[in-house]
Chains A and B, each alone.
Chain A
Amino acid sequence: DGGITQSPKYLFRKEGQNVTLSCEQNLNHDAMYWYRQDPGQGLRLIYYSQIVNDFQKGDIAEGYSVSREKKESFPLTVTSAQKNPTAFYLCASNVGLNTEAFFGQGTRLTVV
């Protein structure tokens, strides 16, 4: 089945640690995105990539980094510089801008 796989589903991080969230898609989509959701808020854009080896900052990129070395993969690293990383993270992809997005099931990150 085609789709987007995020792992892990739950992640616990100690203060000061970097963690990487995985996002893999087998839909042959060019564009991939990372969003963050906090309670009572909508999805906020962290980073997006329209093509391999290229990505752009979204609205809340500070404290995060990404790479896009393969079309299928768009990992997100939450660095120690991110002041409030506890949140729900969603990865999405689409054929390109202006088309419907497909989403993974999300990773819930908690700082302990």
Chain B
Amino acid sequence: ILNVEQSPQSLHVQEGDSTNFTCSFPSSNFYALHWYRWETAKSPEALFVMTLNGDEKKKGRISATLNTKEGYSYLYIKGSQPEDSATYLCAFDTGRRALTFGSGTRLQVQP
């Protein structure tokens, strides 16, 4: 079983704060790294699918970076808003089977 770890497990920030989370994954057999946002009572939704070492993706106030050689990815949220409150999941993709997910980082943004 592949080991995908996310930290921190949970995070409480104030509205307007910027924050970041980490996803660690195996540095071998890498094909892609996915980030998903999972809001309460909704389905997880894809944020980014990253495939290249050094890749950076951005969607609004959310951005992600990828280091495949050392096996980590960072997700950044600039100026957090209450609507950013969700669990953020990363998933490791070997290109050969289904995604292996981390346990997620639960973010709560206080107004």
Q: How far is B32's CA from A100's CA once the two chains are assembled, in angstroms?
A: 10
Is the interface on chain A under 10, 10 to 19, 20 to 34, or 35 or more residues?
20 to 34
Q: How far is B72's CA from A50's CA once the two chains are assembled, in angstroms?
A: 28
> Given A42-B4, A42-B102, A97-B93, do A105 and B43 touch, yes or no (CB 8 Å)?
yes
Query: Are A104 and B43 within 8 A (Cβ)?
Result: yes
Residues of B at the A interface (CB closer than 8 Å) are: 1, 4, 6, 31-32, 34, 36, 42-46, 49, 89, 91, 93, 95-104
> Given A42-B4, A105-B42, do A100 and B49 touch, yes or no (CB 8 Å)?
yes
Contact of A59 among B1, B42, B96, B102 (CB under 8 A): B1
Contact of B98 among A33, A40, A42, A106 (CB under 8 A): A33
Query: Are A98 and B44 within 8 A (Cβ)?
Result: no
Residues of B within 8 A of A33 (CB): 98-99
Query: Are B34 and A42 within 8 A (Cβ)?
Result: no
Residue of B nearest to A42 (CB): B103
Q: How far is B89's CA from A98's CA once the two chains are assembled, in angstroms?
A: 16
Query: Are B43 and A103 within 8 A (Cβ)?
Result: yes
Residues of A within 8 A of B34 (CB): 100-101
